[in-house]
Amino acid sequence: MTHVLDASVYVPLITTAGGSLLEVASRFDLAILDLTVYEACNAFWKAWSRLGKMSVEEARKACRAARLLAGKLKTYRFEDLDFEKVMAIALDDNITVYDAAYVVLASMLEAPLASEDRDIRRVAPKYGVKVLGFDELLGAMK
């Protein structure tokens, strides 16, 4: 079964699983949006530049890992989605276009969406999308 990952799950997968993540990803059907890598790298940049939680080299290494991992997953382009549906969800439910895009992708694939994002967790079930937290995803991957 495919599982869609948003950046709120993709980032901790990279920082906690590290190199073993590539092996795990090869055994599971995981999907992301192309924008997930950018969102993840932005989180690593913020952890370095604003929060002081990473060194600049750790941020670079994490961004490289995010990009490398993306090559092992099914990556969907924003253009693959029904733009009108993305915008309708974003506007009707007052969530970011990014978050609405993840909901639309999961709905399109009829797949659960792994997310720690409060807005996604609130809105996705309204569109028939099951939401898993980070720990639930880890449990499903064992």
- Considering the domain boundaries, does residue 55 fall inside one? yes
- Lowest mean pLDDT across 1-5, 18-22, 35-39, 104-108: 18-22
pLDDT tens sequence across 100-127: 999 999 999 999 999 999 999 999 999 9
Which residue intervals of the chain are DSSP H helices?
7-17, 20-27, 35-49, 56-70, 83-93, 97-109, 118-123, 134-140
Structure tokens at 115: 């997310």
pLDDT tens sequence across 75-89: 999 999 999 999 999
**CATH number, residue 7:** 3.40.50.1010
Give the DSSP per-residue string, 50-67. Answer: TT--S-HHHHHHHHHHHH
Higher pLDDT, 17 or 36: 36
Number of folded domains that form the chain: 1
- Considering the domain boundaries, does residue 142 fall inside one? no
pLDDT, averaged across the chain: 94
- Considering the domain boundaries, does residue 78 fall inside one? yes
- Considering the domain boundaries, does residue 141 fall inside one? no
Alpha-carbon dihedral sign for residues 20, 133, 100, 118: negative
Long-range CB pairs of 96-100 (<8 Å, 24+ gap) are 98/7, 98/35, 98/39, 99/6, 99/123
**In 3D, which of 96, 106, 109 has the Cα closest to residue 132?**
106
Range of the domain at 97: 3-136
- Considering the domain boundaries, does residue 92 fall inside one? yes
- Considering the domain boundaries, does residue 57 fall inside one? yes
- Considering the domain boundaries, does residue 10 fall inside one? yes
Q: What is the pLDDT of residue 18?
A: 63
- Considering the domain boundaries, does residue 18 fall inside one? yes
